[in-house]
């Protein structure tokens, strides 16, 4: 199951996993999500991360799950003094509480498969990013949840992926906030991050990749 698979890194993850996995693409129904599912022969799964009370009924049919990838997230560019409490609530609701709620509801299915939970975090989950106050806080919290899950569920593999800046629509919004021209070649491609994430998922059974840290290569391409 992949959340946030309608575009960007989420659809790149779906592309990379489609040859070897049966895909559940979780998220709010949308034409973009339907298009990814149709292209890959995947199943869409209606999950609203902002409504944790709805999740139990939605995921109840799933009895075994090999991999859960938390990729969905929101970001509101802004420094601390520019931020609003409503933005903090929304960021935490989707990026943290939604991920926690979905994981808790799927724990029995993950345990049954001795599965793998992957959190697409961020460099902002290791070092604070200027201009991304609420997003940074949410990613630190998500990292803490991943570490706790790993400690408390020894039959599961739990991986936090911390990419640098990726060439996505979210990145374009951030660059616009910074007042700079958007140059995709300066950032990681979604396909690169997806490939390295899948490498962690496909690691041999005796290996447990705790963290993957990826940064753009500054050398000319």
Rounded CA-CA distance 174/180 in Å is 9
Listing DSSP states for 26-95 in one string gives EES--HHHHHHHHHHT-EEEE--TT-GGGHHHHHTT----SEEEE-------B-GGG--HHHHHHHHIII
Considering the candidates 76, 135, 177, 182, report the single residue annotated as catalytic: 135
Listing DSSP states for 133-152 in one string gives HHHHHHHHHHHHHHHHHHHH
The two three-digit tokens of residue 140, written as one number: 């630190």
For the question of residue 76 being annotated catalytic, the response is no
The two three-digit tokens of residue 102, written as one number: 């979905």
Q: Are 66 and 111 in contact (CB under 8 A)?
A: no
The two three-digit tokens of residue 202, written as one number: 């496909």
Kindly tell me the number of DSSP H helices and DSSP E strands found in the chain: 8, 7
Closest by Cα among 127, 168, 150, 138 to 209:
150
- Which positions are catalytic? 135
């Amino acid at each position: 199951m992949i959340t946030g698979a309608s575009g960007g890194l989420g659809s790149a993850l779906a592309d990379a996993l489609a040859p070897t996995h049966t895909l559940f693409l979780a998220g709010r129904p949308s034409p973009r999500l339907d298009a990814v599912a149709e292209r890959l022969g995947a199943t869409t799964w209606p999950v609203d991360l902002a409504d944790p009370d709805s999740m139990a009924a939605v995921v109840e049919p799933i009895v075994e799950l090999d991999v859960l990838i938390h990729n969905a997230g929101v970001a509101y560019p802004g420094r601390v003094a520019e931020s609003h409490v409503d933005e903090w609530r929304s960021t935490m609701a989707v990026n943290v509480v939604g991920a926690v709620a979905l994981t808790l509801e799927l724990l029995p299915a993950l345990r049954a498969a001795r599965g793998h939970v992957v959190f697409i975090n961020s460099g902002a989950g290791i070092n604070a990013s200027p201009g991304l106050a609420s997003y940074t806080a949410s990613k630190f919290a998500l990292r803490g949840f991943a570490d706790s899950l790993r400690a408390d569920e020894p039959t599961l593999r739990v991986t936090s992926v911390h990419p640098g800046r990726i060439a996505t629509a979210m990145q374009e919004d951030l660059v616009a906030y910074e007042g700079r021209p958007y140059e995709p070649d300066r950032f990681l491609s979604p396909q690169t991050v997806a490939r390295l994430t899948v490498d962690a998922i496909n690691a041999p059974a005796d290996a447990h990749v705790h963290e993957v840290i990826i940064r753009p290569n500054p050398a000319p391409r």
